[in-house]
Structure formats: structure tokens, C-alpha cells
Amino acid sequence: MRPSQRAATDLRPVRITRRYTRHAEGSVLIEMGDTKVLCTASIEETVPPFLKGRGEGWITAEYGMLPRSTHTRSRREAAQGKQSGRTQEIQRLIGRSLRAVVDLKALGERQITLDCDVLQADGGTRCASITGAFVALHDAISTLLADGRLSVNPIRDHVAAVSVGLYQGVAVLDLDYPEDSGCDTDMNVVMTGRGGLVEIQGTAEGEPFSRAQLDLLTDLAQSGISRLIELQKAALAA
């Protein structure tokens, strides 16, 4: 039995709120149960130095947790003077995941930065960030299409992410914090709307996992991501 009483194949309640703040070109609050992440998309008409003059755009991401988004207060990274390895790992993952579904040439020489800031954490923040950031990115690109800066949509597909894991020997979907900290294997999967795999990151926290378990977990992730992408579509249609 999962601590949350959910069935093994249940997602937590998901809520996607667009235009959550007003300045960003895309601003989405995504809630997966008690996990709440604010994802904003900011357009800048410039690209990083390594892309200058190549006619291509760039999508990048930054990630942060408010100090008291967690059960006990974490130190503020700005005050510590550096981002942790975990933070950097997550923001690199978010950036790669979004770039996988955008035609950077079609985006033109501009950059979109996705800021994913965790207001409240209860497990699965990196996956929620990817799923929410896609919607914010979509909104930002809509403004580029609306004001004529883009004529062709560079977004090629949806992308969303979910965590799966082996909790007390059972494959479960969308781990919350009690499951995440108690599970044997934890896997984050990023997939597109067409079912292609973009990222798969599985880690055995305790015992190694088998090929059969890898298959089971991937199946479970796939079903969860399909539902998340439907929820993205519903939010974008609203």
C-alpha cells in the first residue's frame, strides 16, 4: 500500500495554471499533489556566444527551490554563493528535454529561458518542472507567432516527464516524497507526445534492478506521460 493510498498506476492530482504571473511571456504553475512549481518562459532576442551568427536559437533552463519549499529549511543557494550539483543536474535535464521537441533553426536567433522555481516540494519536482515548462514554453512561442516574430511554429511535439520507482518491491507511478526517500529504484522518464523516449534516468538506491523491472517501470512511465500530455493539451486549449 502506498503511503498516499494511491493505486500503483495513479498519478497525483495534477493542476496546470497558465498566466500565473504577469510579466513572463509564459507563466505556469504546475501542481502534482503537494508539489508546486512555478515555470516561467522568458524570451531574449539574443543567443549565447557559442551560437552567435549561426541563425539558430537556444532553449535553456534554470531551477531553484525556495528555501522553505522543503520539510526543513534548505540553505538559499544565492546566499551560499553557488548552485548545488543536484540543481545543475536538474536544470541541464530540463533544458535538454525541451530542446528535444523544438526546431532550434526555426526558432531563429533568440533564446528562451525556462525558470522553474519550486514553491512547495513533495517529490518529483524535476519531472513537474519539465511538464510545466513545456506549457510555459508553448505560451511564449505563441506570443512570438502572434506578434509575427515567428511565422512557423518551431515546436515539433509535446514533451512531459514522470518519475516511477520500485517501492517495497512494487512498481509505482509518480512518487511523492515519502515514496521517493524510501524506494529501492527511482527512475525519471521524459517522453514526447508521439511516445518517443527523450531521457531515461534510472538509479538503484539500494538493490540493483533487473531488465524485467526496467521494462515494467518504463511501461508505467509511458502510461503516466500519456495522461500528462493530455492534461497539457487540455490546459493549452483552455
Task: Provide the annotated binding site.
Answer: 86, 124-126
Binds a copy of itself (CB under 8 A): choice among 4, 9, 17, 120: 120
The window from 33-41, 142-150, 161-169, 228-236 that contacts a copy of itself (CB under 8 A) reads 33-41
CA angle 230, 90, 127 (to 5 degrees): 20
CA 215/CA 210 separation, integer angstroms:
9
Q: Alpha-carbon distance 36 to 32, whole Å? A: 7
Quick one: DSSP state of residue 220?
H
Q: Does residue 169 interact with a copy of itself by CB under 8 A?
A: no
Exactly one of 83, 142, 143, 153 binds a copy of itself (CB under 8 A); that residue is 83
Total residues at interface with a copy of itself (CB under 8 A): 68
The single residue listed with the C-alpha cell 533553426 is 105
Q: Report in angstroms how near the CB of residue 150 gets to a copy of itself at its nearest.
A: 19
Considering the rule CB under 8 A, would residue 24 count as an interface residue with a copy of itself? yes
Residue 38 Cβ vs a copy of itself, minimum distance, rounded to whole Å:
7
Interacting residue with a copy of itself among 19, 54, 92, 149 (CB under 8 A): 92
Q: Which of 220, 159, 236, 213 has the alpha carbon at shortest distance from 6?
A: 220
The rounded distance, in Å, linking the Cα atoms of 225 and 186 is 16
C-alpha neighbours within 13 Å on the C-beta side of residue 131? 34
For residue 116, the minimal CB distance to a copy of itself (Å) is 10
Among 27, 129, 131, 232, binds a copy of itself (CB under 8 A): 27
